[in-house]
Amino acid sequence: MLFGQHSPLFPRNGRVLVVGIIARISGCQGQTEISLDDQIDHCKEYVEMLYKGEVEYIVISTKGKGEQLDRPELQELEKLLRSRKLDLLLVEELGRIVRGGEAARLCGVAVDHATRVLAPNDGVDTNDPTWESAAMKAASSHVEHNILTSLRIKHKMMNRFTRSGFTAKRDIYGYIVPEGARSYADWQKDDNATPNIREGSEQLMVCLNGETVAASLNAQGVPTGPYSREKKWDGVMVLRYYRNLLLSGRPQRGAMHSIKNYETGRRRSVKNPKGPQYVNYPHLAHLDPAFQDELIAQLAEKNVKFKRDHEKGCDCRLGIPRSRTRFPGQHVRCWYCGRRCVWGGNGVTERLMCSGAREWKCWNSIGFNGALCAKRISEVILAELARLEGIDAQYRELVERALRGDVDGLAVRWDAIHREESAIEKERQNVELSIRELGPRPMLGQILDGLEARATKAAQERWKLEQLGSRKPTLPASIAELRSMISEEFQRLAIESPEFGYYLRALVPEFHVYLVRLCDGGILLPRIRVKLELAGNIADSVQVPELKELLSRVVTIDLFDPVQREAIREESVRLAAQGLTHRQIAAKVPGNPTSTAVTNAINLDKRMRSLGLTTPYQTVLTPPDDLRLCRHKNSRYRFEPLDGYQPPAV
């Protein structure tokens, strides 16, 4: 008997059986979205064997690690189960939902809301009184399989390393990896690099400053290594490089290992308390082992005061990934060079500054308050939502067209994918014809590899379009509903929480900071150019390009309070036009300014009008010479914007 056939299926509405299908792949190398299609087709075939009536399918397919509990599709599934919309939830095995006890809990949620769950490969059917025991056993089996597989792979790789020096072919500066090399025994030392490495190590021993050695290496044109993202040395790279024991012929493995966070199911890399294991290959030594050990000890002693103190409990970032940061960290960009701004600007924890300024590649070293920035952007978003009432009729029309399927978004993407697939097939035929006429050529092989990469990307896009086309888009019915949805999230999330940052990044896809200055001189002031997409958190808005365009804005926000002469300028000019003296104006203007402040305000207005400006602020394009900005005067400074970066208009 087919599993689950002993208890027939019945639609709760008496007409259509609503079936939810869960499909998941880990996304490891070699896995493709075709595997998801196979899972979905298998589940549909299973339903057809169990039920002969009309069926409506709701498919949740995803790519992600099975242990992760913070995947959005799990929240989507639980919400769907609690809606009592499903008659049946079908999955090949519970591990496709989650690898762990959370899968059994979700089965319980389904049962509580009158949804039957079938997992044929695990023998789980919630119509069976023993389903909970079967689900727990299946979850335990999946967890055990993961643990044993992980241990087997780790033991195998460590055994190969200690026995024969097995390693990945990822060499650093100073080494040559011959073709076909599989272990450190096959690697070769680059004798031409030895003088540079020794000179740098001796200099580092004297100064214990990575930046100084980095400047010396860059001046000599020493490359950073074949796998380095950066093409020039910096202090951090220098210290990391000279702490690598491979330089003294002692490669290591196992310095770090991964641990699981049981709240989220994610794994992170931490220091291995057992320490690494070493193998000795003297033929790879550029430095004397005793000298390198002393150098590392000297660096550790010098930098011990900068170490994050985990034991005293004062490390506020303990256990938190670098990518999990407050908004606008790792999102706002410098308008001048295009690099991201980072927390800790000029040594102040709550301020951000351009990361390029730290690398001597940008002159914009002015910091700005991150909390103030997030607050003002939130206020602007709510203000823009309040102004949307006038376009409610246009918005409703676009939503209704999308629900009818009368939208251009998918059609445009389908046309593009058809053209791409036709072009790929035509180019592939031309290459195959060339191979038949000319024989194999390295260049033709490279062209074929490029075509395969394009074909894979096109197949992924086709799969996404098929998924989008199989269901109606989910969109807020009105501007009021959109405003309510965003406002509720703003109230629910703390402004300093990482979750608020994740939410806001979708609403603010572009975010640049630049500097302005009053036209009569003074300090540099930060201003931001923000592109808002008020439909950014609505996944299906990509199907309606007109809707995305309708809800997009570009706004400018000041991250400063006006200085006194600008704050009182308009009122002072108005009263001066009535014939009042500066002393009389000072008595009437709020804030109790001095008569000198009034004079400065009136002179600022005159200067603004003589320059033909409508506001007293001017955009700063180059570092002014009358301020204490010295970064661009340092010998290490070279203005280097990101490759291909073009600053947006302000």
Please spell the DSSP secondary structure of 92-141, one letter per residue: SSGGGT-SSTHHHHHHHHHHHTT-EEEEGGGTEETTSTTHHHHHHHHHHH
Q: Do 139 and 227 belong together in one domain?
A: no
Percent of the chain clearing pLDDT 70 (strictly above)? 92
- Residue 639: C-alpha distances to residues 339, 622, 634, 644 (Å): 12, 11, 11, 14
Closest by Cα among 619, 16, 586 to 364: 619
| pLDDT value at 320 more than 70 | no
Q: For residues 369 and 558, give the distance between their C-alpha atoms in angstroms, rounded to a whole number.
A: 11
| pLDDT value at 507 more than 80 | yes
Q: Do 139 and 176 belong together in one domain?
A: no
Per the structure, the count of domains in the chain is 3
- pLDDT tens digit string along 473-501? 777 878 888 888 888 888 877 777 777 88
State the CATH number of the domain containing residue 110. Answer: 3.40.50.1390
296 lies in some domain:
yes
| pLDDT value at 231 more than 90 | no
Which of 15-19, 128-132, 351-355, 485-489 comes out lowest in average pLDDT? Answer: 485-489
Q: Do 265 and 187 belong together in one domain?
A: yes
- pLDDT tens digit string along 571-612? 999 999 998 999 999 998 988 899 999 999 999 999 999 999
528 backbone dihedrals φ, ψ, rounded to 5°: -120, 145
> Helix or strand or coil: residue 578?
coil
**pLDDT in the model for residue 285:** 95
Average pLDDT on 281-303 reads 93
**pLDDT in the model for residue 559:** 93
The residue among 268, 285, 306 that closes a domain is 306
End-to-end CA gap in the chain? 70
Burial of 402 (0-12, 13-18, 19+ CB in 10 A): buried
Q: Do 187 and 284 belong together in one domain?
A: yes
339 backbone dihedrals φ, ψ, rounded to 5°: -85, 160
Q: Do 176 and 240 belong together in one domain?
A: yes
Q: Do 121 and 194 belong together in one domain?
A: no
Q: Do 222 and 265 belong together in one domain?
A: yes
| pLDDT value at 303 more than 90 | no
Is 331 within 8 Å of 501 (Cβ atoms)? yes
521 lies in some domain:
no
Domain of residue 21, residue span: 16-146
Helix (H) or strand (E) holding 74: helix 72-82
- Peptide bond preceding 328 in cis form (omega within 30 of 0): yes
Is 94 within 8 Å of 119 (Cβ atoms)? yes
Average pLDDT on 114-131 reads 92
State the angle between helix axes of 102-112 and 131-164 in degrees (0 to 180), rounded to the nearest 10: 160
**pLDDT in the model for residue 291:** 94
509 lies in some domain:
no
Q: Do 189 and 96 belong together in one domain?
A: no
Is 344 within 8 Å of 351 (Cβ atoms)? yes
Count the helices and strands in the chain (H runs, E runs): 20, 19
Strand partners for 558: 527
**pLDDT in the model for residue 558:** 94
**pLDDT in the model for residue 202:** 94
Closest by Cα among 195, 96, 193 to 138: 96
Residue 45's CB is within 10 A of a number of other CB atoms, namely 9
Q: For residues 328 and 331, give the distance between their C-alpha atoms in angstroms, rounded to a whole number.
A: 5
343 lies in some domain:
no
Using CA atoms of 451, 454, 456, 459 in order, give the dihedral in degrees to the nearest 10: -120
Token pair for 541: 């808005």
Residue 66's CB is within 10 A of a number of other CB atoms, namely 21
- pLDDT tens digit string along 413-471? 778 888 888 888 888 888 888 877 777 777 777 787 788 888 878 877 777 677 666 66
* Residue 210 amino acid letter: G
| pLDDT value at 11 more than 60 | yes
The residue among 421, 454, 469 that closes a domain is 469
- pLDDT tens digit string along 608-645? 999 999 999 999 999 888 777 788 888 888 899 998 89
Q: Which residues fall within 8 angstroms of residue 530, CB to CB, at 6 or more apart?
A: 377, 380, 508, 510, 511, 554, 555, 556, 557
The residue among 306, 321, 350 that closes a domain is 306
Where do we find the tokens 């003296």? 581
Q: Do 175 and 65 belong together in one domain?
A: no
Helix (H) or strand (E) holding 59: strand 54-63
Q: Do 289 and 176 belong together in one domain?
A: yes
326 lies in some domain:
no
439 lies in some domain:
yes
Q: For residues 569 and 636, give the distance between their C-alpha atoms in angstroms, rounded to a whole number.
A: 42
Q: Do 223 and 183 belong together in one domain?
A: yes
Q: Do 186 and 134 belong together in one domain?
A: no
Chain-centroid distance of CA 271 in Å reads 24
Strand ranges in 215-281 using DSSP code E only, listed in sequence order: 252-253, 256-260, 267-271, 277-278
Average pLDDT on 321-346 reads 85
386 lies in some domain:
no
pLDDT top residue among 37 and 339: 339
98 lies in some domain:
yes
- Residue 243: C-alpha distances to residues 165, 569, 574, 649 (Å): 20, 59, 67, 45
617 backbone dihedrals φ, ψ, rounded to 5°: -95, 140
- CA atoms within 13 A of residue 79's CA, in its CB half-sphere: 6
Is 331 within 8 Å of 508 (Cβ atoms)? yes
- CA atoms within 13 A of residue 446's CA, in its CB half-sphere: 3
Q: For residues 213 and 235, give the distance between their C-alpha atoms in angstroms, rounded to a whole number.
A: 7
Checking DSSP bridges between strand 267-271 and strand 351-354, what pairing results, if any? unpaired
State the CATH number of the domain containing residue 210. Answer: 3.90.1750
Closest by Cα among 303, 386, 316, 384 to 344: 316
Is 93 within 8 Å of 122 (Cβ atoms)? yes
